[in-house]
Amino acid sequence: MITTPRGDKGLDLARDFLPKLILMDMNLPGMSGLEVFHHLQHSQETRDIPVIAISANALDLDIEKTLNSGFKAYLTKPLDVPRFLNTLKHFVGSDIRREEEPNRSKESNPTESNQNT
């Protein structure tokens, strides 16, 4: 995962790394998420990368406008984590994995501990 809080830097990163998916905050400083999206769509290199809009703006009109402009999905903040994960899985499939719990030592797991009798 590569992140940046700035749209212009995000454009550079998208061209350099060609990610499988872009999560776009709609309220970026300097350049809106919609403006960044239009730049991505006009670039031969990045036009086929699916982009998911993320915003605290949950008005139906804004969601519809954003989806009609070509975004593949629209998620509202605060994020509904199960919906977020399902959306990611839909676009990148099995590449999404939950972070596993830290490895526990064998002493903390009674089924794996050495028993010297």
Confidence (pLDDT) at 101: 42
> What gap in Å lies between CA 112 and CA 110, rounded to an integer?
5
Chain position carrying tokens 């300097």: 30
Q: Give tens-digit pLDDT for 32-49.
A: 999 999 999 999 999 999
pLDDT higher than threshold 70 for residue 112: no
Q: For domain 7-83, say whether CATH 3.40.50.920 is its number.
A: no
Q: Is the Cβ–Cβ distance between 97 and 85 less than 8 Å?
A: no
Domain residue limits, the chain: 7-83
Q: Give tens-digit pLDDT for 4-13.
A: 999 999 999 9
Q: Give tens-digit pLDDT for 48-85.
A: 999 999 999 999 999 999 999 999 999 999 999 999 99
- 0.95 exceeded by pTM: no
pLDDT higher than threshold 90 for residue 110: no
Confidence (pLDDT) at 93: 84
| Range list of β-strands (E), 1-117 | 22-25, 51-55, 73-76
pLDDT higher than threshold 60 for residue 21: yes
Instruction: State phi, psi for 39 to the nearest 5 degrees.
Output: -65, -45
